[in-house]
Structure 1
């Protein structure tokens, strides 16, 4: 099951964030102990004063090709588990996330 949900405005994505992760990157999809799926993201920023949250929204905006203003934190401001909304064409955003997470898992480009 995909860790994102579609809406008329775009998508909402469930994330598991690792601050101070050594690099900024999307590491694929993980299934949590409770069965939920999340997109694993790591950022170099520390979890202090919202720096990691800013880094996450900037990373997602860049990866999905949308303006930073189109990515906003819905919940989990002080947690590793976050819910983020991305405004835009839901089908394009979902396909982009599918390709990004597949590439992260295989280390290769996903086939179109």
Structure 2
């Protein structure tokens, strides 16, 4: 079984990824591990959780990780929570898992 499989779901337009975010970390890292209880991928963001800075940093980091334009990454739930669901348009679940496993820890 692939490490991140439970956290990535296929949608008609791409995938959704469930994240467990730590803002204000020493450096931004994604993926930074897997939370098997929450079935979410850990994401560490250097930006503070103030004024949407962490959310912008998350969309930038995920766009880079998955090789998609920033406009294709959207936080759909958890804007003010450490648990977030992010939609990524234009990629398949298998592509997302390949990218995660290639850059994973």
Structure 1 and Structure 2 fold alike (TM over 0.5): yes
Partners of 2:36 and 2:76 lie apart in 1 by: 20
Please tell me the root mean square deviation across aligned C-alpha atoms, in Å: 1.2
Kindly tell me the number of residue pairs found equivalent between the two proteins.
99
* Structure 1 residues 17-36: aligned runs within 5 Å: 17-26=21-30, 27-32=32-37, 36=38
Runs of 4+ in 1 over 3 A off after TM superposition: none
In structure 2, the partner of 1:6 is: 10
Higher relative contact order (CA 8 A, sep 6+): 2
Highest Rg: 1 or 2? 1
Partners of 2:24 and 2:55 lie apart in 1 by: 12
Question: Which ranges of structure 2 fall in alignment gaps of 5 or more residues?
Answer: none
